[in-house]
Structure 1
Amino acid sequence: MRIALLGGTGDIGEGLALRWGYDTDHDIVIGSRDPARAREKAGEYETELDSRGLDRKITGFENAMAADRADVVVAAVPAYHLSDTVESVAEKLDEDTILVSPAVGMQRDEDGFHYNPPGAGSVTALAADAAPDDVPVVGAFHNLAADRLANLDVELDLDTLVVGDDDDAKGLVADLGGEIEGLRVLDAGPLGVAAEVESVTPLVINIAMNNKGMHDVGVTFD
């Protein structure tokens, strides 16, 4: 399977690229607005995996080229860049492509981080509005600590939630997430409840900020 990580040079993109590179044999493609930056980071990820005895080929391209012919496109960009990023690759997306959004809208003040949904109701809905009508959109991987995800020396024991209106697309993304060792993916319902899922992220960050030794705190559900 070909997975394109748009904005794959950033923190969550790095974590997902390394974990899928380490735990699976999927074709990983790094996207960026700057193709040179994408190639540079793809090389860094390859080097990290090589240091662990894995000979993996990770490629880097400009976002639209990265998305071309991908089975799953993860828009691993901040919420304020999401619409522009999706629109810039829209002609490379079709009904056979699954678009995944891990982005969360947040604001910070002296009290901490607060959930800040866009007018669409959720960032996942924003992605759906920007994508072509026939492209299934899934919200996933919102609440994962990027540093923990990218540190392959750390064993994961975490849950993450998926939302979406296309059950087949949601199931495939859940399966992809579940291929990451130590990550359990739970179905949280349709896209209409994405705001409830996304709002967990600022809560997790606030807990990490206010409790010693919990920098990489995550969520599990029992």
Structure 2
Amino acid sequence: MELAILGGTGDIGEGLAMRFASDTAHTITIGSRDAAKASERARAYEDRLSAHGVETEINGTDNSSAAASADVVILAIPPHHVGDTVEELTEDDVLSDQLLISPAVGMSGDEDGLHYRPPSTGSVTEFVAQQAPDSVPVAGAFHNLAADRLADLEATLDVDTLVVADDPEVSDRVVTLTADLAGVRPIPAGPLSNASEVESLTPLLINIARYNEGMHDVGVTFS
């Protein structure tokens, strides 16, 4: 499977790229607004993976080129840029039936911590679905994963990630994709209208990490 991680030079993009490259046989392409930056970061990821005994190739290019050849596109883009990115992909006519997955969360911070700030659509995931062409399926996942722990290949994961999608078949595709990641359990959480509840967990987890020593990479599990 061809997997494009747009914003793959950022924190969550890096973590997902490292884990998918380490744990799966999918073809990974890092996308960025700057193709040269994406290519340079891809080489750095390859070197880190090689140091952990994983010999694989990661591609790096601009966002539109990465998405054009992908089966699945993960929008690891800051929430204030994700709409522009989807609009750009649409204008470049590179989106057809790729599965878009959004892990972005709208947040703002003050001296007390981070607070959930969703767009008027109710959630970033729903905003992505609104911006995307009708033919393109959209799901939300990976919202509540600690980026630093994902990127640390020496760290053992034992976390859950909630998956939202309006189409149960789309949800199943994301669950199947995610289940390949060692230590990450995907759990269906219903349609996109439930995304706000899922996304709002992220600032809560970050605040817990801030106020509790030794919980920097806190995650969630459900039982």
Query: Match for residue 206 of structure 1?
Result: 207
Q: Distance in 2 between matches of 1:39 and 1:68?
A: 17
The alignment yields a C-alpha RMSD, in angstroms, of: 0.7
**1:80-91 equivalence runs, <5 A:** 80-90=80-90, 91=93
2:91 matched to 1:77? Answer: no
Q: Tell me the CA shift for residue 69 of structure 1.
A: 2.1
In 1, the alpha carbon distance for the partners of 2:5 and 2:62 equals 11
When the two structures are superposed, what TM-score results if normalisation uses the length of structure 1? 0.98
C-alpha distance after superposition, 1:155-187 (max 9, x if no partner): 000001010112222111111111110000000
Could you tell me how far 1:188 is from its partner in structure 2?
0.5
- Could you say which residue in structure 2 is the equivalent of 1:37? 37
Range moving further from structure 2, 163-172 or 212-221 = 163-172
Name the CA distance, whole Å, in 1 between partners of 2:44 and 2:175: 27
1:129 equivalent to 2:120? Answer no
Q: How many residues align?
A: 221
1:82 & 1:48 partners in 2: Cα distance? 28
**Gaps in structure 2 of 5+ consecutive residues:** none
- Using the aligned pairs only, state the percent identity: 57
The equivalent of 1:215 in structure 2 is: 216
Partners of 2:95 and 2:169 in 1: CA distance: 17
Q: CA deviation at 1:126?
A: 0.7
Distance 1:218 1:107 in 2: 20
Structure 1 residue aligned with 2:94? 92
For 2:168 and 2:205, locate their aligned partners in 1 and report how far apart those are by CA, in whole Å. Answer: 27
Gaps of 5+ in 1: none
Structure 1: which 4+ aligned runs deviate by more than 3 Å? none
Give per-residue Cα distances to partners, 1:48-73, cap 9 Å, x unaligned.
11112222010001000000120000
Larger mean CA deviation between 136-145 and 52-61 belongs to 52-61
AA in 1 matched with 2:96? D
Shifted more, 133-142 versus 170-179: the winner is: 170-179
Match of 2:151 in 1: 150
Residues 52 and 153, structure 2, Cα contact 8 Å, conserved in 1: no
Alpha-carbon distance between aligned partners in 1 of 2:170 and 2:56, rounded to the nearest angstrom: 26
In structure 1, give the amino acid aligned to 2:180.
E
Provide the residue aligned with 1:195 in structure 2.
196
* Post-superposition offset of 1:92: 1.1
Match of 2:170 in 1: 169
